[in-house]
Structure formats: structure tokens, C-alpha cells
Structure 1
């Protein structure tokens, strides 16, 4: 049955859907015994917040109620569809709630309204009638938020005390039945220079007592001005670009508890290469920035640079079986996707390298057919001579006016010829022209990660590891698809008046069709900066200019310091792992990890060892723990632990990824370990220490004011500074720094200020 639409009027107005049947239904409601909510809400840990809350009972409750505990409504699915035209965003939310008790009950639907948004449609059908709703202003909403928090003894809603609220009563909800609710709001997005952010408040689902079966967000953007960069700093998303003026972003996850708001940024530019600069400057500190560059989604053939590529593929005995079959198909895919102006060669190796041609050949049909025939006949046998395979392949690439690549794939350790890692690296460094990029594929766990990571790093490439159970063909074809259309090579940036430092990654990758680069760094400059990106296309220099006031920023940019710290920490860890222990670098890793709340496999002791974060001897304890737990692990060169360490570090340093939303790492078995003991409230960081959530700048020697949780004192403090609501929502027991003073909110403390 099609649900009717109820238009939502201005805040404070009531939507009336009065009828004799509805009045009769209301009169027949069961006694409040089944509806009431103090204990029900105490059990309602699984209700969603901000993106739609369905609370058992009538809210606010009448006085002198009989309290009966009721389980919360479970959430079956949560679907979000966003349409953005230019800067006007329309967000449609579709949720299904499940009544988990054996009788019909009443519920109250609450929707905290995002700042600057307007509710447009509310869809719900009960007893063949549309359900009315009411938009409450901030003062009315605040009273409801605080009342719920007081009665539920759960601070989660305090984050939204400064927002308006939409409310609707829902009755009856059938026994063990479902209730579908849809709501839609619009907002005009703010553009910062040429960059537009969009945020959906998804983080409230983190309090769910049960994972949600199905969470999906789809965002469709259309703009008259061409769209350039599209990315999410919070979630791993899929981005599809049908044309220069359209972008489709999707995020989906099953059986999950979302714990961070969903954000995307997109830039609009008429330039061939779109440049964006986002800044964040804390008071009294140097600034943080994120710089992005992206080519258009649609590229004419004449705009694609002709490239030279040599495929160097391992065909040793260890590649037999499924691996050699996948290698054949991966090589065939790459050959079939060569461009008409490209040149190529194929070198297979075991004890000795065997090139298909004596030099690079044009990508004609005849040459590609010959290479395909060879690929189909690949067999696996013999030992692994990595040194000779690469030193014989490198001299084939001689034309520095063309983007030049080696795609190197191996599944083993060097066993024939030169086997010393340092000597192999030195030999390859000597033979390889400086302009050549080396992309490395390590297959399985029997590879030397130090050798492969250093080789890719020395030659401006990346390492991709294909772990057991992963598809080699998919990995190779995925990377080749990215690099098959070079747009701009040998990039350089003139930062003008920015005076930047600590930029990560330090080496700029090339720009390819469908790709983008994301840099994070610090800056000392002020005023207006002119940032110029220069690169080579078809051997000719091209430049692109961005002029921006460095003070132009927006509150949503507060994620940039964390992104920068994530990049720097992983860079430092990679340096320690590949070059050996360095106390100065270890100290910096520990300091940044605490300051920004970033936990890696090497620093997990920060949240695992009791009392670590609050100790006044934190630095000494952390240094000892690093030496005890992390240092031995870093020495492993091969095996599952070594491969997954490389995967973790590469992900944290990536020039093309920006997501900071999920903290976790792969362990030595390839299983994902999630970090749940760190929470962020804006740009403030809290670590879980037992039952208490502690702000990162606190230590146990500080004098602390104690306030009883959910007392008048807590709400007085919140009234003085509503921004503390985000910090209070982190947990029921929390230590917050307020103007340099430690304030502990917990089971004991003063009731009034």
C-alpha cells in the first residue's frame, strides 16, 4: 500500500489528522502500564538516535505513571538516499523498527533535526490513517532531550541539545510486529571556496544493543559545474563517475553498529585538473591542511599520455596451480587494456628472465596477440631470481618523456643468483632509471616484505599484497586499470605563502584517469596563498593554480588534524620497521597516538594496559611497552605477520585514501582487529579506562571536580557550555577537561554547582 505524505509546517505547528476513527483509537489505548518508559528506556540501549529514534511509550510521559520495563525496539534496516543538485541536498531516511514484546504498544518517534535543515515529508501509516507530527523548537527539544537523559541514565542525546526536534506518537505497534517510518529533510550545503561538504548523523547507531541487519547510504550528486574530487574522510565508499557533472557514492554494511557520522566532500571546478585546499587552525598552533587534486571523470583519448610498461611476472615452481592460472588471466587483462599509443614488453622469470621481445614494442594487435599466446602457455617451475629479472628489465625503459612503469609480481623469496636483500636493492637502484615507477605484487605469505616495500618505495610505486584466499587476477587488474590512463606525471607543488611542513605522503604519485591524490600536512603561513601544481603530459609542462585565503575554514574540517596524524604515525612506523629502532621516532609515535587517539597494531597497548593513559609516568610506561610488544614484531620480514604489517602501514600512508572513520588493523592471521576503546568528540579524544572515558590531556595527578551523573550540576554545566554535550555523550562516566580543570562525571559527586 502506498503511504501518504504528510507535509511538515513551520516549527511549532501541529499537523492535524483528526477523525472519529482516530479519536476512538486513542480512547481505546491500553493503560499507561504498557507504555511507560522510565524502566523501558533504561532497557532501550538499542534505539537509534538523531537519524530517527523510536522510544517505547508516550513521550513526554504523564505524571504518576506505573513503570513497567519494556525492551527497546530493534532496528531491521536503515536506508538513506541523498540527492544533491549543486548545493541543495535532499535526504530521505527509511527505517523499520521491530516491537519485541507479545502485545501491541505505543511508541514516540523522535528525530533531532540537523542544523540548518528543514523537515519536508514524514510518512507513516497506522490504522489506515497518516500519523501527525510536530516540529519543536530548540528550547522544547532541549527539555525533552534532558528529560530522556535524566530518566534513562544515558547521556547519548546530550550531543543534540542545541538542535530542534521532530516528534510523532505511534500507536498501535502490533505485537512482535514491524513499523516502517520514512522522513525527509532538505538543506542548503555551504561551499568553502570550491569544496562542498555533506554530513549525515549516522554515529548515533553506536548505542544499539544489536547490530543493524542492513545499513546503506547512497548519494547522487549533479552539478552544472564539473565535479572533480569526491571522497569520504569517514567511511570506505564506492564512487562511480558516469560523467564530469555526476557522481554516485555508495556505502553499505551488514550486521553493524555505525559509530561515526557519514561525511563526504566534493569539489567543483572548470579547470582540467581540479585543486582543493581545506584548512584547520587551532588557536595558538600552526595550521593543518588537506590538499586534493583530480582530473576530470571523462578524458578524451588525446588527453591520455602514451606510456611504456614492462610486465615482470614470476613463473617459479611455487606459482603452480591456482596462482599461475590467475597470473595468466591477470596478464591477459593488462595486455588487452593497453592503449593504442602504448609500448610494452613481457618478461617472465624463474632462474633466468625470458623477455618476449628484445625491446619495447608498440601495442599493435599482432604484438598483443603474440603476448596473449605466450601468457596462455605460462607454466610454473624452477627457482626465484629476482635480482636478474629486474636488472635485465629496467634498461628497456629509456624514454623519460613518457610515463614508464614496471609491474613486478612474485610469490617467493629470492633463492637463485643474488639473494641478499640489500644487494638486490642496490643492483635495482643502479639499473633502474629515476623516472620509472615500480608497482609490486607480493603473492602469499612467503615473500620478503622488506625487499618488496623498499623496492616500491625507492621507485615511487606501491606494493600490493595478495593474501591467501584473495584473487590475484582481481588485484592485478584493479591496479592496472588505475594506471592505464596517465594524465599528469612527475608532479611538483609550489606552496607559495603557505610555508608547509610535515607533508604526507612525501613523494607525489602521478595522476591517472579516475584517480585523485590527497596530501595532509601542517603550515605556518597566513593570508592568501597561491598553490601551483605542475606536471608533465606528453612531455610538456602543464601548471594549475589555486588561490585561497588560509583562514577560510569550516567546523567540519576538524577531521584534518587526525588525518594528518594518521599519515605521520604510519610513516614513522614504516621508517622504524624498515630502517631499525630509533628512540626519537618511537617517542613521536607515542606522543601523536595519545594526542590524536590513533591506535595501530604497534600501539594497541595504549588501550589494553589498565591505567596506561591516565598515568603521570605515561611516556616511560609507553616506551617500555613499545619495546616489549612492538619492536620484536617489526623485525619479521616474511610470513603472515610481516605481510599484514605492510598492508596496515600502506593503508595508513596512502596518497589516495582519506578515511579515518574506522580504527583497526589486520593481525598476523589476516583477521581484522577493531579498536573500540577510543572515541572522538569533535577535535577532542577520549580513551576508555575501565568504566571511565578519559580525555587524553588528563592524568591521575590532577585535581578533579566530581559531579554526579545526571544531576542538576551536570545540566548546569551543560547550560553554561552546550559544546560539552558532545563530550558528555561519550559515556555515562567521563573525565572532561573544562578550561584546564578536570571534571569527573560519575556515580558520586556534587548535585549542584
Structure 2
């Protein structure tokens, strides 16, 4: 057995010997599935399953309906059980899946996760065609395809809906396309097994000699009594030992944007796209026709500012389930400078191995601009972290010109290397005393390539207090689930900096506009309207150019006035809204009825998201939460942590099921992520580690340098202790009220603001 395994990949024309196929089989053309990916082991080559992905997306205003079709092809001469690891938007409400094989269309059924896996394994053992969709994280899935026969493509179509959030004044659709590597802290889970391929292409354990495939390994770890889902085994990465141009056309895009409000602007900074259409409808395609799936696709569009979607309510009612409503809230349009008080900014910079090169350069551009933009009344700290955390100074530093120059020099000296001990850095951000009369804002810059999301989210929940967390994802395939969760738990926001083209300009622009929330402590006074199960359970703060959605169920429709309440710079604010739950208030488009029906799906998905957060960070009712999540998935036919879609054919396609070999569909190297962030060997049960080894000496040198800097920094700045803390009054909403409940108030953009 060879200890080190080399994966090489290359393109040839797809071909299969015709005598090995049944007469009715139709061979795909090179245009349908381009190239054969070959892996090498011990001098012998074997073929890996091929993949094509086609996205058909229809956006109605701010709701996206997505059909993702995955086409799998086995170009070898023997049956294969294929596994494909792929990402999806963490808020996607996956509500349907179908499978097309050999002229048969199978409608997948939602089942409890264990039952779905059992049905899939039974079908696989019987030689039947089958497919299983499994959620490992809210944004990480595997598609398993059983008995993928030579030369006989299998098409799997996944349908989901999602809201398109408003970010910095524009609506932003994100379509994740590749799962980047994940760092697992050594010792947190059971020891990982190094895996390779046998001469026949089967997965094997190099450390123990165990020849069982990765799927046979336990799916959970037990940590202090917790049962924690493991990450799936990371598949081979094409491009590691071959040009990055391998298989450049795996993904196609067919996107249509409909809006009754004129579309004033539409663009993608991540991909070259061709846009056609008029002011109310746009069609978007990749300019090259197809693209490689090595980065997320992001589309931003703006609607006519004078008639843009305003705060308002969309509802749906059916006799079987009752009513569902979706309330969209926008903040009052107040100059942001009037909102800014004294701040302590704690910058936490990821310097792990995956941040090398462009991600590190983008982070430094961000930091340089952010430090220069600090105001004289601000305080700041800088924490860099990889396998350990280091500090610019032991305590918070006053933002004088001299201190800012020292800080910029410090940031310029930082280098990438080591692991991603994010939780250590998170604790360090809260370990020092906060200067008096300031708002603490913790700014994270990271690609989020870790698998320890549970501990990070729990730490934020335990320690956030009155602070805010802003998370900036640096890269083209960032772990958005983690960074969005950090921002949500920290009542802040998440933004993403791509590392191609003008990344320095984008990073600097974000840094110059570190925002404070315009509307905080948001609540809804339903004013006698009977609603239940509102979500999110805790409404986040609102920032300039953003929106918040609140979803709930209601018993009966009628005309009503509700109030959105909050705090604007220490002053009470209220927005009265007249709603008619009997009227059709959705967009007046040809697809309005279909958009309206998505409200129950999105409500159920948000409920699952909220309950999954509570389940993740712990509590005394975990089993109860698990049952609730499971029931929501089964009732609304939604993919979740505890429910899975499974499709099983009645036909036997493989007469010798034992002959099928387990193979992973190879992934491209994530754009902007250096090769050093990937292992030379894959890990089973966890994902790729960050590079350590030869960077140890560099870390020691940096640690000594940091100690020297700290000795100088002890004399820098003193916390402000003499400034009087401002008093912020809270408001308790009553069950009924009138507009006169706010004396000495002024009206602005529909909001009543206390003077």
C-alpha cells in the first residue's frame, strides 16, 4: 500500500465501449458531459463520476424560485455508487426533488433522516437506482446516487424557494457553488482517518488498513454527552496536480428577473454575464455559456428608488392550514452620521493558511482603510489568529494618528499560516475591559473554513452582551452559514469580499462604511391581531440600506393596523401599518399567486432555522426541538437536519450490486484558496486541515515579535472613564394604542420619531 496518494486529473473525450452497454442506452455527447476525470493510484488510472449542474432561477421582486438540475454520468466500465458534496443557500426552502433515469421519473419523498437512509441503502443493496439528499450543515449537502450504471446519465432536480435579502441598498441573490475546505481542531472529534483509493478505486484507510468505505464511518461524534454531526469526507480536488482549467463548463445559468417596479440596475461582480430584457424583466446567462463551479455566483439588482418595495405585508390563507403573513420592515431614512456614537472596534483577523495570497491582501486592504477611518473618539484593538491568537496591544487603544500609524504597520507585517482556531480568537475579543461610554463592535475577517461552527455560535450567544458582531467573509466560496450565523447572533451584519479583480477597492469601501444600526430593539405590536409562531424569534437590528422580514401565522383575515416599534439613536420610533389580510397584497405579476404560496414554505424554513439554532447551542429540550424540526420538515415537505429526500426506482438496474464501487464526484479548487489549504491526503469524517508543519518556525518568530510589540503597546492610550454614559430608554408596547401615544414626535418617511 502506498502511503501518499496523488490525485491527477485530465480531459479526454467521453467514450464508453458500446458492447458494455444495454442496447437501449443512449450515450451522452461531449457537449452534454465534457471530459473524463481520471485519478491515479499506484500507477493505475480509474475514472471518477462526472457532473453537470444547471440552474434555472425565476425571481419575482424579492422571492427566488430555483430549480437545480444535477446530471451524473459514470464513464467507467463498471457500476458506481457516487457521492457529491455541494453547497446551497442556508435559507433555501428545499421542497421537492425528482430523479430521471432510463426514461423513468421518480418523485422523491421526504422522510425522517434515518428512514430515508435505510430506504436508500436497501435499494442500493438490491441493485436499484436511488438518490438520497442529506443535509450536513444548513449550507452543506451530499447527493448520493446508487448504482450509477456505465454510460447512463441520471438527472436529479432539486427545487427550492428563498427570499432575496436587501443588502446595502440592493437586492442580493447568492448561489453557492463549491464547498471550500474546513478546518477541524485536533482532538475535538475522534481521530480522523487518512483515506486513499485502492487499485480498484475503492476508498481505504491508510492509517489503519481498514478497507471499508467512508460511508460506513459513524456520522456523529460524542463530545461531553453531545451528539454532534460530523462533516462529510472531503472529495478529491481537481486542479491540485493539474491546471485549474480542468472541466471549465460544469455549470449553466438561466435566470429571469420579473418586477412590476422598473429595474434600475443589475450586475454580477463574480461572473461575466449577458443581460437582455426591458425595464420590468431581465434574462441573465453566463457570457461563456457554462462556467466552472469554483466560486459563488452573486447577482445584485436595484429597483426604482422612488417606487421601491416599502415596508408592508404579504399574506396567504388556505382552508387547510390557515393564514401566513410576511412583514417587510425598512428603517427610517436618517443620515447615518447622526446615529454614530463613541465606539470600541475590535478587529479580529484570520491569518490561517487558507487566507494566504489574495484573501490576506484583501484583509489588509480592509484593515488599512478601517484604521484610517477611525474617529478621534474611537478606541480599537487588533487580534490576529491562526493556530493561536496574538494582539497588537493588551488593552484597547485610543485612535490617535500615531497609534493608527503603528497599527497599520502591524497589519502590514502579518503573514498567513497555521490552523483556524476561530473560537479562541472570539473569546479573546471579549476578554478585555470595554472603554466606558462606548459601543463595542467586533469585526471579523475570515473565510470561515472551519467545521467547529457549534462552539463558535455558542460562544457568541454566551458572551455577546450589548456588543455587535460584523463578519466579513473574504473569498469566493466563503462559509456563509457560519458568518451569517455569527452576525445574526451578534445583532450585526455580514458582508463578503471577493478576491478577484477589484477586491482591494471593495474591501476598502466596506471598511470605510462600518455602520452603526439605524433601528434597534425592534418589536411588532400586533394591536389585537391574533398571531402565533412569529419568526425570527429575536428581530435583528436594522442597518442603512437593509430590510428585515418577520413571518407569522394568523387565524382570520381582516383589515387591521399594526405598529413596528424600535429605538433610533436612543429615541422611541414607531411605524403604523394598515394591512388587509383579505386582500392580495403581493406583487402584481403573472406569478403573484405562486409567489404568495411560497409564504408558508418560507415561514416553515425560518422556523426550522430558528429551532436549529436553539438545538445547536444547547438547552434542556433538545429532543423536543428535534421532534419539532422533524415535524416541520415532514408537514411542509422540507429538507432539514432531521429529514431527507429519497427516491427509489422499482427497476433493478444492477444485477450484481456488490460490483458497484463507491466514488466521490471531484470538486474544483475553490477560487482564491491556495493549494496549501488543501491536504495532500483527504480526511474522513472531517475536512481539510490548514497547513501547519513548516510554518511552525514562522509562528514562533511572529510570536516573539508580537511580544516585543506588546511591551511597547502597554503605554498606548487609556480607556475613557470620565465620559457620562448616555441613557437609553426602552419602550414597552401595549396591546392597543393610537398614534398619539408618542408625544413630542415628528413624522419622517412614515415613522413617528420621538423628539
Using the size of structure 1 for normalisation, the TM-score is 0.39
Query: In terms of Rg, which structure is larger?
Result: 1
Instruction: Specify which structure has the bigger relative contact order, considering alpha-carbon pairs within 8 angstroms and separated by 6 or more residues.
Output: 2
Normalised to the residue count of structure 2, the TM-score between the two structures is 0.39
